[in-house]
Amino acid sequence: MYAFPMKASREAASFFVIGLILAGANTQAAQTIHGRGGIVLPPPPDVEAVPVTDDYFGTKIVDNYRWLEDARSDQTRAFIDAENAYTNRYLEQAHIRPQIADDLDPLVNVTETGAPIERNGNYFFMRRLAGEGQFSIYVRHGWTGKDERIIDPAAFSRDPNTSVYMNDVSRDGTVVAYSVQQGGADETSIRFYNVKTRKTLLDELPSARYFSVVFAPNGASVYYARNNKEGTLLYQHTFGERVSRDTLVFGHEFRGEPLGGNDLFSGKITDDGRYLVIQISRGVPPRREDIVFRDLTRPGSPFDILVWGLDARFSVIYAGGAWYVKTDYNAPMGRIMKADPGVMPEAWQTIVPEEKDVIDDWSIVGGKIYVNRLHDVKTETEVFTLAGKPAGAIDFGGIGSASILLGRTTDRYGFMSFQSFIVPPTLYRIDTATGKREIFFQPRIPFDSSQYELQQVFYKSKNGTQVPMFIAGKKGLKQDGSERLLMTGYGGFDVSETPYWDPEYAWWMQQGGWFALPNLRGGGEYGEQWHEAGMFEEKQNVFDDWFAAAEYLIANKYTSPEHFAIRGRSNGGLLMGASITQRPELFSAVWCGYPLLDMLRYQKFKVGYYWTTEYGSADDEKQFPYLLKYSPYQNVKPRSDYPAVMFFTGDSDTRVDPLHARKMTALLQAASKSGRPVLLHYSTSSGHSAGVSVDQQIQDMTDELAFLWTETGQPAPRK
């Protein structure tokens, strides 16, 4: 046993209470837990319920596990230790676990290379060799030169979860700015490496959340945007000077309008070196984006406005002496315009008009505009001149996702990748002058794509909305309801879920399981209207789309509820929470990663306040009712049959507070009467962002897949 906080005084019995009231210890205390595959566990650890009552506009809500919000308390640390020990007892009995680790190693532990950026004839890129735990930064001197590793995290840190990321390279190719990250935390420190002297500079920006780090045109300084609860501030650091003396360039307010914690911005330098451009996003996702710029050829000049104060999204590229802007202003599917500072967008010239397919991304490379549209969630790349005349297309064939062409506006060559659920990513170099395509890098992964098929289907959601879904698996796989199926989803923040390569899904399909991904409302697959249909009070549409996808897959005998596994993380973790509380009968196993679950309090922790532009806030009397209606933590019902669940989080998640998973674990363990396992997998080294070592990745994937595969096997006959 471990220590618990003393029982709090009970609230008056006359309170009208919505929520779960569990007096004393875990109500599952006398129930043996039975996992699939012969796994037997004792009851989960006893966790004391200490009721705390909140009053939301006259409605009383009881929270029995408020004490678990304090991550640093001895009681919470004891809870984490006990839950991890309990989860390990489960994983030790999962017979397939060693096989999964062996199978994943050749899928994950391969050489990978990122897209290079060219500076002064040299190419800088990220690469991780097979057998290495982390990416390093390389330089190739000339296109046909040898690759040289210049920054290796293993050379300065013994922690295998220390990673590096390349932020920018000076225009003369002399200095590399790179970030150093610990585990999966969002915070990084910024360092600078001189390629000629082969030494790291003494200048270092301290650990913080940075939104951009870019070199000034002369390379003698950098501009960086750093964020904290007070908001984002953009500074200029001159090499050789103390960081404490860095110059504040932009922040706090602009022309009398305050800039607060929800106003996030980054800086960039135009390719000709003339302008410093600031793009301000109001919230995540932004309902409004503003763009201002400063002429660096006029030292001390004020910032001018390109666009300000409009409830729409804008992104800008300066090319050929003109401003080009992609926007959804009066164009929900997006269009590209030639902008004139000082006049409203109605007076701008449309270069690439809005069409029925949404613009997913765009770039200008080699003096041409590259536009990625989503045609029913499949990437189609069109090419235009700067005057808007069609100049060809890039076709990779088949269902998949192509990145936008990466490069500078004046570069002749750009780089783009293509991938899908059954095709590992291949990185291509594109000649913008001729359209010629050649492979820059292709990983060697033991996965025979020809043995698998990827299809797209459409199904009707609860209100009749047509929703697309990708389904993948081995060719000839049975459709009689007996096969396992893994479904994932997201549905939020204007994020388009296009087909991408993932070793976990590849392993699942190699074992003979189906894989599915529905494109839920709340994403950006069909433009801003599709996104808005899953925001605020419309969030239930996301869950309804998800449940309709599950019903389609069951009705068409891809699987059955007892073989149905689902997974999601972050906003997708909220989706998992809603699946547990709203439709537990549809699923057998749920992996809920880094989740948002207490939607009445999420905005009070970490950077949760960013997301009030997507979800709303329970502090608002008008928004509280719909958040309460779907918030998973407040909708767990006592003595209910819940599926097997693994909550997955860690101390290094500095984005979504791990308190959600801690509290929900205790609550669900107390409430479930199904006898299925409810587990907490809690890491002290990993978090929301990427950055953990390959070994840690394989271990985490193994634990997840061992749980999902085991808990979707044939259930033992009831006695």
Q: DSSP characters for 51-81?
A: -EEEEETTEEEEETTGGGG-TTSHHHHHHHH
Q: Report which of 702, 659, 661, 698 is spatially closest to residue 679, judged by C-alpha positions.
A: 661
- Residues 553 and 429 both lie in one domain: no
User: What's the average model confidence in pLDDT over 598-626?
Assistant: 96
Residues 43-75: tens digit of each pLDDT: 999 999 999 999 999 999 999 999 999 999 999
- Residues 120 and 136: their CA atoms lie apart, in Å, by 21
Strand residue runs (E) in 216-357 = 221-228, 231-238, 247-251, 253-254, 257-258, 263-269, 275-282, 289-295, 304-307, 314-319, 322-327, 335-339, 349-352
- Residues 702 and 569 both lie in one domain: yes
Task: Name beta bridge partners: 435.
Answer: none
User: What's the average model confidence in pLDDT over 174-194?
Assistant: 93
Q: What six digits make up the tokens of 88?
A: 């390990």
- Residue 691 pLDDT: 73
- Residues 681 and 580 both lie in one domain: yes
480 domain residue, yes or no: no
Q: Any catalytic annotation for residue 570? A: yes
Domains identified in the chain, total number:
2
Q: Which of 570, 579, 631, 693 is catalytic?
A: 570
2 has a pLDDT exceeding 60: no
- Residues 534 and 538: their CA atoms lie apart, in Å, by 5
pLDDT bin (cut points 50, 70, 90) of residue 689 is low
Residues 654-673: tens digit of each pLDDT: 889 999 999 999 999 999 99
5 has a pLDDT exceeding 80: no
Phi, psi (deg, nearest 5) at residue 704: -65, -50
54 domain residue, yes or no: yes
Task: Name beta bridge partners: 24.
Answer: 49
302 domain residue, yes or no: no
- Residues 668 and 65: their CA atoms lie apart, in Å, by 11
Q: Mean pLDDT, the chain, as a whole number?
A: 93
Least confident piece of the model among 26-30, 141-145, 255-259, 424-428:
26-30
590 domain residue, yes or no: yes
Phi, psi (deg, nearest 5) at residue 331: -155, 80
- Residues 40 and 43: their CA atoms lie apart, in Å, by 10
- Residue 446 pLDDT: 97
Of 412, 444, 476, the last residue of a domain is 444
Question: Which residues are CB-contacts of 559 (< 8 A; sequence separation ≥ 6)?
Answer: 481, 483, 484, 485, 514, 553
- Residue 397 pLDDT: 86
29 domain residue, yes or no: yes
- Residues 492 and 414 both lie in one domain: no
Phi, psi (deg, nearest 5) at residue 528: -65, -30
Residues 315-327: tens digit of each pLDDT: 999 999 999 999 9
Of the chain, the percentage scoring pLDDT greater than 70 comes to 94
544 has a pLDDT exceeding 90: yes
- Residues 552 and 439 both lie in one domain: no
Question: Which residues are CB-contacts of 388 (< 8 A; sequence separation ≥ 6)?
Answer: 336, 350, 351, 352, 369
Q: What six digits make up the tokens of 266?
A: 């980054």
- Residues 575 and 712: their CA atoms lie apart, in Å, by 19
pLDDT bin (cut points 50, 70, 90) of residue 30 is low
- Residues 413 and 491 both lie in one domain: no
435 has a pLDDT exceeding 50: yes
- Residues 440 and 552 both lie in one domain: no
- Residue 10 pLDDT: 28
CA separation (Å) from 663 to 16, 261, 593, 668?
22, 27, 14, 9
- Residues 430 and 579 both lie in one domain: no
pLDDT bin (cut points 50, 70, 90) of residue 684 is confident
- Residue 717 pLDDT: 61
- Residue 378 pLDDT: 96
630 domain residue, yes or no: yes
8 has a pLDDT exceeding 90: no
- Residue 229 pLDDT: 76
Q: Which of 237, 531, 681, 688 is catalytic?
A: 688
- Residue 119 pLDDT: 96
- Residue 6 pLDDT: 30
H or E element at residue 508:
helix 503-510
- Residue 185 pLDDT: 82
12 has a pLDDT exceeding 50: no
- Residues 627 and 705 both lie in one domain: yes
Instruction: With beta carbons less than 8 A apart as the criterion, state whether 369 and 387 touch.
Output: no
- Residues 592 and 666 both lie in one domain: yes
Question: Which residues are CB-contacts of 676 (< 8 A; sequence separation ≥ 6)?
Answer: 33, 34, 35, 642, 643, 644, 645, 711
* Structural domain containing residue 369: 357-444
Q: Report which of 459, 633, 416, 691 is spatially closest to residue 552, judged by C-alpha positions.
A: 459
512 domain residue, yes or no: no
Task: Name beta bridge partners: 247.
Answer: 236
- Residue 31 pLDDT: 86
What CATH number is associated with residue 669?
3.40.50.1820
Of the chain, the percentage scoring pLDDT greater than 90 comes to 90
Q: Report which of 6, 76, 85 is spatially closest to residue 41, judged by C-alpha positions.
A: 85
User: What's the average model confidence in pLDDT over 170-187?
Assistant: 92
242 domain residue, yes or no: no
Cα of 171 vs its chain's centroid, Å? 31
Helices (H), 31-134: 74-93, 97-108
Between these two residues, 4 and 187, which has the higher pLDDT value?
A: 187
- Residues 410 and 491 both lie in one domain: no
- Residues 609 and 603: their CA atoms lie apart, in Å, by 4
- Residues 686 and 552 both lie in one domain: yes
